[in-house]
Amino acid sequence: MAFDRASIFDAAFLESLKRLRIVARRVPGGGRFAEHRSQDAGGGVDFKDFRPYSPGDDFRSIDWNIYQRLGKVFLRLYEELEDLPLYILTDHSKSLYQEQPPRIVPSLRATLALASISLNHHDTVGVFPFSNDVQTLWSPQGGAGKVMRLATRLSSLEPGGSTDFAMSLKRLNSMSLRRGLLAVVSDFFDPQGIEAVTAALKTVRHRLLLIQLVRPSDRRPELNGDYHLVDCESGESAEVSVTVRLLSRYTEAYDRFQTGLTDFASKRGAGLLQLDVEQEVAPQLATLFETGGYVV
C-alpha cells in the first residue's frame, strides 16, 4: 500500500472539526445522558406532557397540583437528553487501496472526522470496516479522549476482499445495535450493481448518511486505445478496445449508477455527500455542517 498511514494524524484537520456537530431532532431511547432529545420521556429538564399514573411509576414525577384539583394522579413527563449512537460502516475493500492517491486515505480521514465530531460531543461511536463481510474495529463507546486511539486502529487497517453490500449489511443488521445514525463511507461500487447496493441499504433500520468517495475520472476516464484490464478485486481480466462509442456507453452506465444511488437517498431521506478524493476532506465535510450542525 503506497500511502502514508500517518496522514490521518493531522492535528490541524482534527482541530477544524471541533466547531462541527451532529444534531438529532430525536434519538431512540435507552442510551446514555448526552446532548440530544430522546423519544423517551422521564426525569429530564424540559417539560413534555402528562400521562396517567401506572403502578410502578416513580412517585417523584406525580403532579400533586393536578391531584388536588381533579383528584386524579398524573405524571409530569420530561424530555430526556441522551446520546445519538453513530455507527460508521467504512469500506476497506481491496479496490480502495489501488490508484494514486488511493481512496482509502480520504475514506479513513472521513471516518475519523465523523467519529471525532461525535466523540467530542459525548455520543457513542462504533466503527465497522467492511468488504465482503463486516469486522468490529471499534465497538460502540464514548469518550472525547479516545480519538487518537481510534486513529491508531484505523491506520493499521489492512485491505479487505471484494465488495459485497448484501452480505456486509446482513451481518451488520444481525448485531442488533441500538437505533442511531449509520454513516456509510464507500465508493458504492459492487459487482452486483447499484440495485444490489440500494436493496441492501433498504434493510437498515438506522437513519443513513452516505459518504460517496468519487474522483472526476470515475465518470470520464481518460482512456483511448487497446488495454488489458484486470479487476483488482476478483482478478478477472479482459482485452478492451476503448473507443468514443464505448466511452459513451460507459458514461451512460455510470449515470444510471449515480441516479440509482441519488434516488435512493432522496426517497429514504438519507444524507448524501460526494467526497472528491483528490481534494481536502475537511472542507467538503464542512458542507454538511454549514449551519453548525448536521441535523438528522
On whether residue 18 sits in a domain, the answer given is yes
Segments forming the whole domain that contains residue 145: 5-22+84-217+270-288
d(CA 142, CA 38): 17
Residue 182 sits in the same domain as residue 199: yes
Mean pLDDT calculated for residue range 17-21: 65
Residue 14 sits in the same domain as residue 159: yes
Residue 109 sits in the same domain as residue 167: yes
Residue 15 sits in the same domain as residue 72: no
- Whether the pLDDT of residue 24 is over 50: the answer is no
Tens-place pLDDT, residues 40-61: 444 444 445 566 766 666 555 5
Cell of 258: 449515480
Mean pLDDT calculated for residue range 125-154: 93
Residue 117 sits in the same domain as residue 176: yes
Residue 71 sits in the same domain as residue 127: no
CATH of the domain at 132: 3.40.50.410
What's the predicted TM-score (pTM) here?
A: 0.77
Residue 144 sits in the same domain as residue 62: no
Residue 138 sits in the same domain as residue 94: yes
Strands, E assignment, 160-266: 181-186, 207-214, 225-230, 237-242
- Whether the pLDDT of residue 33 is over 50: the answer is no
d(CA 142, CA 119): 6
On whether residue 163 sits in a domain, the answer given is yes
Contact status, residue 116 vs residue 14, Cβ threshold 8 Å: yes
Residue 46 sits in the same domain as residue 136: no
Mean pLDDT calculated for residue range 76-93: 76
| Domain endpoint, select from 42, 58, 82 | 82
Average pLDDT, the chain: 81
d(CA 125, CA 145): 13
Side chain identity, residue 119: L
Residue 37 sits in the same domain as residue 121: no
On whether residue 17 sits in a domain, the answer given is yes
Domain count, the chain: 2
On whether residue 38 sits in a domain, the answer given is yes
- In the structure, what pLDDT confidence band is assigned to residue 86 with cuts at 50, 70 and 90? very high
Cell of 224: 483511448
Residue 174 sits in the same domain as residue 284: yes
On whether residue 243 sits in a domain, the answer given is no
On whether residue 196 sits in a domain, the answer given is yes
| Domain endpoint, select from 82, 105, 121 | 82
Alpha-helical (H) ranges within the chain are: 11-15, 64-70, 104-119, 147-155, 165-173, 194-201, 244-268, 281-286
Share of the chain above pLDDT 90, in %: 47
d(CA 128, CA 91): 9
Question: Residue 81 to residues 45, 64, 121, 123: CA-CA distances in angstroms?
Answer: 8, 25, 12, 11
On whether residue 225 sits in a domain, the answer given is no
Mean pLDDT calculated for residue range 93-108: 91
pLDDT: which is higher, 47 or 260: 260
Residue 98 sits in the same domain as residue 65: no
On whether residue 226 sits in a domain, the answer given is no
Per-residue pLDDT, 204: 96
- Residue for grid cell 475514506: 107
Please, which residues bridge with residue 271 across strands? 209
pLDDT: which is higher, 94 or 54: 94
Mean pLDDT calculated for residue range 133-144: 92
